[in-house]
Amino acid sequence: MAEEKKVWFITGSSTGFGKEMAKQALERGHKVAATARDVSTLSDLSEQYPESVKAITLDVTKQSDIENSIKTAIEAFGGIDVLVNNAGYGLGGGIEEPSIEQIRAQYETNLFGVINMMREVLPHFRDRKSGHVLNVSSVVGLVSWPSIGYYSSTKFAMEALSEALAGEVEHLGIKVTIVEPGGFRTDFAGRSFVQPANRIEDYLSSERIDNIGEFDGAQPGDPVKAIKAIIDVVESENPPLRLPLGEDAVTAIDEKLEAVRKNVDEMRDVAINTKVEEDQAESAGN
């Protein structure tokens, strides 16, 4: 049986994972609403697939853009089957180092942008009793590291919302998948990574941030292979809630799970011994 062709709505389609995802989805015969703040970055896709791609201006921090882009996509293709929340960027620095303006901007794009996109598309999915929400998180959505705490926290929050949403919409035929990439050769560690407004020597963050910059272009992951895996999952009958990508991501997640288990085991007796004792419960009831 041939795979049903879908309409993909992808945020942040100008570069990196978003651009490659749009390209591969189109190559497989799907239709794509490709979005970017500057739609000129999508001209190559529009020229190559004039009947299958709709280039749409979208800044996920602007509610009017979100509403207009979704309306435009539905008018162009008759509906949306896959929402890909991919737009985002990194912010470096210890907890004291970025300015409050930088922190708010990070949350507006990486978290509230995702929230507002989902809230706008979910009524459409509920009406159709189908749809797939694909939220592009990161290995740091499960494993937080020093000097990228704010970026990591936006991904932790995205994962919590995604888990909750998966339970809320499963009976409606709507699927949710969280993508957790490790290091891939996109521009995340370069153009898409923002330096903190301040540097505080005590935090040793300068060295860590410099290491991220030096990693740019040397990441172990191939974006083409990552996107193939993502699209294969979307096309599968039973997509997983989580899709880690990259050996580095799998290793880091394994180490985190082991550390959490060790912590829980060490504190198990302390935790359990906080329950109400039977004699206390009986006296409270008298």
pLDDT at 238 over 70: yes
Task: Lowest mean pLDDT of 125-139, 153-167, 177-191, name the range.
Answer: 177-191
Q: Please compute the mean of the pLDDT values over residues 120-125 and round it to a whole number.
A: 98
Q: Please compute the mean of the pLDDT values over residues 153-168 and round it to a whole number.
A: 98
pLDDT at 2 over 60: no
Q: Is residue 161 part of a domain?
A: yes
Active-site residue, from 6, 23, 155, 175: 155
pLDDT at 32 over 90: yes
| pTM reported for the whole predicted model | 0.91
Q: Is residue 2 part of a domain?
A: no
Full residue range of the structural domain in which residue 281 is found: 249-286
Q: What is the CATH number of the domain that holds 186?
A: 3.40.50.720
Asked if residue 266 and residue 219 are part of one domain, the reply reads no
Burial of 121 (0-12, 13-18, 19+ CB in 10 A): buried
What was the pLDDT predicted at 183?
81
Can you spell out the DSSP letters for 38-73? SGGGGHHHHHH-TTTEEEEE--TT-HHHHHHHHHHH
What was the pLDDT predicted at 66?
98
* Total domains present in the chain: 2
Asked if residue 175 and residue 54 are part of one domain, the reply reads yes
Q: Is residue 1 part of a domain?
A: no
Active-site residue, from 138, 151, 152, 153: 151
> Catalytic annotation on 52?
no
> Catalytic annotation on 262?
no
Active-site residue, from 13, 52, 69, 137: 137
Asked if residue 93 and residue 230 are part of one domain, the reply reads yes
pLDDT at 131 over 90: yes
Asked if residue 280 and residue 175 are part of one domain, the reply reads no
Q: Please compute the mean of the pLDDT values over residues 256-282 and round it to a whole number.
A: 90
Mean pLDDT, the chain, rounded, equals 92
Asked if residue 267 and residue 164 are part of one domain, the reply reads no
Asked if residue 161 and residue 285 are part of one domain, the reply reads no
pLDDT at 1 over 50: no
> Catalytic annotation on 151?
yes
What was the pLDDT predicted at 254?
97
Asked if residue 260 and residue 227 are part of one domain, the reply reads no
Query: pLDDT tens, 52-103?
Result: 999 999 999 999 999 999 999 999 999 999 999 999 999 999 999 999 999 9
The percentage of the chain sitting over the pLDDT mark of 90, rounded to a whole number, equals 80
Higher-pLDDT residue of 133 and 219 is: 133
Q: Please compute the mean of the pLDDT values over residues 96-114 and round it to a whole number.
A: 97
